[in-house]
């Protein structure tokens, strides 16, 4: 992905938290604005006001207009990489460096006035980006430069940047007449607004279930203590930890069903309509650009190249996973029959899966999730994750005391390599009202070579792990530990970049590869050599016992078929809505959801639910969710090299750092992987990782 679409898409992806992001750097705004500090200075999130956000927004648009004029004015025949392409990269980087911090405030500030202004500003920046994408003078400048001798002699990353910039421009509307381009810009503006609205509605949903004492049977004591009360009733919110714990332990089938229905209707009152409008606008955009569907448009610039490749990939997955998910279902049915004393039980309902999976883990695999959590105290997990990545990649992390952050929960770290500061990252790990509700890495500024030196990349990790409770520290489930490692993989991809251009730095890779560097890191959360350095009982300090770990490992692929079929469902839902669905027709997105759930998973669709209304990936990852499974193929293949050489082998870690993470989008992703592997990539390790 290159500047012409990259920073716009990525800035919005940051705003919407699609799971990763690499946006870039800031305007020449007055130094007094805490959001736009001097070169490589720290952003003062704490001081930022509503007025600062508005001023940074108008400031960056003003300074971009001046920068644009300078590019326009270069006489024909005098164009160089520096005055045209580098100027273009700078321009996108500057916009991203303002949008990055604003997106953090939109997603994580406790102040509603700041969040509302941030949302408005992101919409303004997005619209301005849409204008730039269709700026004819800019396109002509790049085309003029491409005809020069210098341009034709380019090699490596610079050549790739020029080629992809032109491809992106032409793919995004320069084959159209000026009138049609105006129409496209209006569509892009509506898509930006609808995407922000969709994400905002999910974040604002404050749904909850009230249950009585009897309905709390089976739930851990500290969970009960930490629930807000409404008279005698307990209030169960819809944030990740509250929801998943209730679904796993509550004995009341009726209340689990009610909570499942509520959870799968988050923002449905508003977002079903928003989603329909979004799909209509995306379809219009694709057809205006000469693509049959939005999926055809999106995949044309990805590793997959076209929807047919994605459909073939999904179909192959369905076939490979079917048998394993059937075995997984039988295991759960055995547990249900014993528990309900109903030997004839033939179905598992979606609100029963967590509950019976937990009993299965306890009874057959002797694994108790609550006992396992006792070995994963959040601070110890942070230390372990940091030790692992510092050792593998030759780094040092230093926590900054009294950081200038948006909330007291947020912490800030500086990253050094060979004694030199190379980047900064922030972590904000626990749920709170109006905060982004999943776990994601947000890029705040990109790495980039500048005349003042290398611009420091910065990233923020927003998560929603189990918070501390009265008398107990924050304890993480092993699943949350895996998620933490995953998201930190994105942080490393952002921070270890050495790319010259912001447009190719960090996670500025093709969207169906961007998850690979995060997925590979999950493997260390499963490795005993790594785990024993930090998995210690929060009271006794006892290291996670090897027999307990062996049981966890033996159970690693319990339910992997069901898990994979769920991922296939999400990927297929996303592709269907963008490739085989008419948003103007009589079929609704709920009809699609129902049909696919019944077809692809062993769990029947629950009438009255609308999971797609809170499927946040439909904005940032439209027609791209398949990338999670697609990139996992490359992640597992690359991990096989670590398995062979030793998972903590520093030499392999540094090779991976320098060949994959540092290079970002400077070369074709397939080439990078092939070079690291020393052979053609294949799917063997991926299927092995699923237990197939």
Give catalytic residues, as residue numbers. 487
**Whole-angstrom distance, CA of residue 297 vs CA of residue 282:** 10
Q: Are 583 and 591 in contact (CB under 8 A)?
A: no
**Other Cβ atoms closer than 10 A to 312:** 12
In this structure, are strands 453-455 and 208-211 parallel, antiparallel, or unpaired? unpaired
Scan for tokens 């005391």, then name that residue: 401
The two structure tokens encoding residue 368: 């108790």
Q: Are 482 and 409 in contact (CB under 8 A)?
A: no
Q: Are 210 and 216 in contact (CB under 8 A)?
A: no
**Whole-angstrom distance, CA of residue 682 vs CA of residue 667:** 19
In this structure, are strands 420-428 and 411-417 parallel, antiparallel, or unpaired? antiparallel
The two structure tokens encoding residue 651: 């030499």
Burial class (CB in 10 A: 0-12, 13-18, 19+), 279: buried
**If residue 459 lies in a helix (H) or strand (E), which one and from where to where?**
strand 458-462
Q: Are 106 and 15 in contact (CB under 8 A)?
A: yes
| DSSP of 330-355 | HHHHHHHHHHHT-TT-----GGGHHH
| DSSP of 185-239 | HHHHHHHHHHHHHHHHHHHH---EEEE-GGGGTTS-HHHHHHS-EETTEEEEE-S
Burial class (CB in 10 A: 0-12, 13-18, 19+), 35: buried
Which DSSP category does 75 fall into? P
R_g of the chain computed on alpha carbons? 25
Q: Where are the beta strands (DSSP E) in 377-450?
A: 396-399, 411-417, 420-428, 440-445, 448-450
**Whole-angstrom distance, CA of residue 297 vs CA of residue 194:** 19
| CB-based burial, 518-531: b 16+ in 10 Å, e otherwise | bbbbbbbbbbbebb
């Amino acid at each position: 992905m290159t500047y012409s679409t990259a920073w716009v898409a990525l800035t919005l992806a940051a705003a919407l938290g699609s799971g990763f992001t690499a946006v870039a750097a800031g305007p020449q705004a007055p130094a007094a604005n805490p959001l736009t500090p001097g070169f490589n200075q720290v952003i003062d999130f704490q001081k930022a006001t509503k007025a600062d956000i508005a001023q940074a927004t108008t400031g960056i648009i003003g300074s971009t207009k001046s920068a644009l004029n300078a590019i326009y004015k270069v006489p024909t025949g005098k164009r160089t990489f520096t005055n045209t392409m580098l100027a273009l990269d700078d321009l996108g980087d500057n916009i991203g460096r303002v949008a990055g911090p604003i997106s953090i405030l939109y997603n994580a500030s406790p102040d509603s006035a700041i969040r509302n202004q941030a949302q408005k500003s992101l919409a303004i920046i997005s619209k301005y980006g849409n204008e730039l994408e269709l700026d004819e003078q800019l396109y002509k400048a790049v085309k003029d430069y491409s005809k020069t001798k210098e341009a034709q002699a380019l090699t490596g990353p610079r050549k790739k940047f020029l080629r992809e910039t032109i491809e992106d421009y032409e793919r995004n509307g320069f084959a159209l007449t000026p009138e049609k381009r105006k129409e496209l810009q209006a569509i892009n503006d509506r898509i930006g607004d609808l995407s922000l609205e969709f994400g905002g509605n999910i974040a604002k949903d404050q749904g909850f279930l009230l249950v009585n004492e009897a309905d709390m049977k089976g739930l851990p004591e500290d969970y009960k203590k930490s629930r807000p009360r409404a008279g005698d009733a307990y209030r169960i919110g819809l944030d990740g930890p509250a929801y998943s714990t209730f679904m796993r332990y509550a004995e009341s089938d009726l209340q689990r069903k009610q909570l499942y229905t509520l959870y799968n209707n988050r923002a449905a009152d508003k977002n079903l309509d928003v989603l329909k409008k979004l799909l209509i606008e995306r379809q219009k955009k694709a057809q205006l650009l000469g693509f049959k569907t939005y999926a055809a448009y999106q995949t044309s610039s990805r590793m997959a190249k076209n929807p047919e490749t994605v459909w073939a990939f999904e179909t192959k997955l369905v076939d490979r996973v079917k048998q394993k998910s059937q075995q997984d279902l039988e295991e759960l049915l055995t547990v249900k029959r014993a528990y309900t004393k109903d030997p004839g039980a033939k179905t598992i309902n979606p609100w029963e899966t967590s509950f019976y999976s937990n009993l299965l883990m306890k009874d057959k695999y002797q694994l108790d999730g609550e006992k396992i959590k006792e070995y994963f105290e959040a601070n110890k997990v942070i230390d372990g994750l940091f030790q692992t990545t510092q050792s593998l990649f030759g780094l040092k992390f230093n926590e900054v005391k009294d950081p200038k952050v948006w909330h007291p929960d947020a912490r800030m770290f500086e990253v050094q390599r060979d004694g030199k500061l190379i980047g900064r990252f922030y972590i904000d790990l626990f749920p709170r009202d109006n905060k982004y509700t999943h776990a994601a890495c947000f890029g705040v500024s990109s790495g980039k070579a500048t005349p003042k030196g290398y611009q420091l990349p910065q990233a923020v990790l927003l998560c929603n792990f189990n918070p501390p409770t009265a008398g107990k520290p924050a304890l993480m489930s092993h699943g949350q530990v895996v998620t933490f490692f995953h998201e930190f993989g994105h942080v490393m991809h952002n921070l270890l970049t050495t790319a010259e251009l912001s447009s190719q730095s960090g996670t500025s890779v093709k969207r169906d590869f961007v998850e690979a560097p995060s997925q590979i890191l999950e493997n260390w959360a499963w490795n005993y050599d790594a785990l024993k350095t930090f998995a210690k009982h929060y009271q006794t300090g006892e290291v996670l016992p090897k027999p307990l770990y062996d049981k966890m490992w033996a159970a690693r692929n319990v339910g992997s078929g069901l898990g994979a079929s769920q991922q296939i469902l999400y990927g297929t839902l996303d592709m269907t809505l963008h490739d085989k669905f008419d948003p103007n027709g009589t079929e609704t997105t709920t009809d699609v959801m129902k049909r696919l759930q019944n077809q692809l998973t062993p769990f029947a669709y629950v009438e009255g639910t609308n999971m797609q209304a809170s499927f946040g990936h439909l904005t940032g990852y439209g027609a791209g969710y398949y990338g999670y499974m697609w990139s996992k193929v490359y992640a597992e293949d690359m991990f096989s090299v670590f398995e062979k050489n030793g998972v903590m082998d520093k030499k392999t870690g540094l090779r991976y750092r320098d060949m994959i993470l540092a290079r970002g989008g400077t070369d074709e992703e397939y080439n990078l992987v092939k070079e690291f592997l020393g052979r053609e990539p294949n799917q063997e390790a991926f299927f092995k990782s699923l237990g197939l």
